[in-house]
Structure 1
């Protein structure tokens, strides 16, 4: 049997879909290693083809390639469905196939981390409950091994009190200072001087809209790629 994880707006978190092999042609995950749209592939190539081919030493923006695509409910999209594709590090979306404006031809990078941290599943552009389904924040490790092997790692839920979503949190401007803050799985903030002494941890930018301080290493990565940072990553 073929199995795949997918985001379903009526099921909690990620749901496991199982399809018999003889019906795999009709399953949404059967071509998960292929690009669901040439527009997705063009955006990926602009950012990550050079990484895949060894022509640059920068890290991935999206990842080595797509691993899953699906049609997800979205109120403003044709027939209420939008095309999405998931990568190791992000999700791409085409909300309206008829429009191709902007630096990424109207491919959006989405706010998947906001959904995972806040627990608020976006089903449209609106602010009402018909287009925002509130759930619990995701209890999945942000990075590293799976939860079963990574019991003490912070989850997306750990960031709810310090990540700007709907909580009104904004940090003070700390440009010029160094980052040594730590975050525990329980959301507790600590400090490690040895981390603050690492190269690239000096804060280079303060984003006043989100209230986030951006260390130099992340700011350099955001702005060092071949596509506009605001289009690929949004506001930090």
Structure 2
């Protein structure tokens, strides 16, 4: 059993206990690598040494989080959110590699609605109906969903002036008067078959004050032009958004990792800005379309999910009131406490890792109901139960099936969830399964 003492030796893990976004401020950096990556571009901005957009934000807006990613060790990786994006720690990269810390393909996920849980694992959640720029309550500005239908729009010829317009409904128009800003299609990106608008390409290749290990020097903002933004997934469009209650004409382009905007009326240094993709993605993932397997969106009965240790698990059946069955199974079993009943879940677990492993389902699988107090088989025991799930070794591709039983409050039984708490695992994301309809 994982004791409380273990937390003193482990990184603090916050398991999807989501606070309102407005309260997510002034958090500590989760890792030194995150702090160092942030400092390169944003420390000079905070200290008044550079007049340019934040690339991450004034600081983290969440604590450290563990999020599912199949190829990461234990099936989860350490991340932290900022106004502009999310940082991800890639521990297999060398400490001094620029790719040890990456920022996710958040804008791409928000536009496509496909949330990524591994190199080749995606789940459809629907594109985000969240404004890409300007005031969050602006009723007329384009949303991420607006851009979904524009992913396959043809690229502009290089050197052509950008005068295309876009409204919230996704209607594309043309306003020749916008040629006065002199924005052109600067470079074609074959990977995504889109061009990059000239103000953004200039920014992606710009130099200025950067912070390296506490020393400010002049240098390139990014290791390569696409490091922060990723490749463009749309063309650039002029649109009208409300900023501080005032309507402004803004050029918007969506990249895989960021949304960049160009506002000609802004002062120099702030004409190109990075959108608040980190804020928007956090809201979409944890509030508007919660992760499959979260407490607010549990795995339906009969469907499987990957759990820590390379196990694919599903709940096959349940017996909400199994008291009579348990008492018949063994004459020495005690009846449940007053107000309680025995609850049996039949679970199937398939090992997808290398070699062999034991699932220990009776120890790692817990239950939770509206009372918000968890049930564990060794504290809320049912005694001897029929077909208890086995702890024997399972080799790759092998499947075990059996029962787990908890003594639960009768008032919890109609709304009970099962969740995973793996033995001695520090890196995990709590996965919830729906036990009752």
Between structure 1 and structure 2, the one with the greater Rg is: 2
Give yes or no for the alignment of 1:235 onto 2:255.
Answer: no
Structure 2, unaligned stretches of length 5 or more?
1-13, 207-219, 233-437
- Which structure shows the bigger proportion of residues in strand conformation? 2
What SS is found at the alignment partner of 2:40?
helix
What SS is found at the alignment partner of 2:18?
strand
Q: Match of 1:188?
A: 171
Change (3 A) 1:173 1:188: closer
Give yes or no for the alignment of 1:158 onto 2:146.
Answer: yes
- Which structure shows the bigger proportion of residues in helix conformation? 1
Aligned mates of 1:111, 1:121 — CA distance in 2: 9
Deviation at 1:117, TM superposition (A): 0.4
Is 2:15–2:66's contact at 8 Å kept on the other side of the alignment?
no
1:141 aligned to 122, 131, 135, which one? 131
Q: Match of 1:132?
A: 122
Q: Match of 1:23?
A: none
1:89 aligned to 35, 60, 84, which one? 84
Q: Match of 1:121?
A: 115
Aligned mates of 1:47, 1:190 — CA distance in 2: 36
Give the paired residue count. Answer: 202
Q: Match of 2:198?
A: 216
Question: Does 1 or 2 have the higher relative contact order (CA < 8 Å, sep 6+)?
Answer: 2
Please list the CA deviations of residues 56-114 of structure 1 after superposition, one character each: whole Å capped at 9, or x if unmatched. Answer: 222222222211242111111122111111111111111x4243267424111110001
Aligned mates of 2:99, 2:154 — CA distance in 1: 33
Please list the CA deviations of residues 168-215 of structure 1 after superposition, one character each: whole Å capped at 9, or x if unmatched. Answer: x2523421111111221111111223333215x122212122122212
What SS is found at the alignment partner of 2:88?
strand
Aligned mates of 1:159, 1:102 — CA distance in 2: 36
Aligned mates of 1:222, 1:134 — CA distance in 2: 31
Aligned mates of 1:172, 1:7 — CA distance in 2: 42
CA RMSD of superposed structures (Å): 2.5
Q: Match of 1:44?
A: 38
TM-score (normalised: structure 2): 0.43
Moved over 3 A (4+): 29-32
Is 2:26–2:59's contact at 8 Å kept on the other side of the alignment?
no
Aligned mates of 2:101, 2:143 — CA distance in 1: 28
Change (3 A) 1:139 1:64: same
TM-score (normalised: structure 1): 0.77
Aligned mates of 1:98, 1:75 — CA distance in 2: 14
Which has the higher mean CA deviation after the structures are superposed, 226-235 or 51-60?
Answer: 226-235
Correspondence list, 1:6-21, <5 A: 17-18=18-19
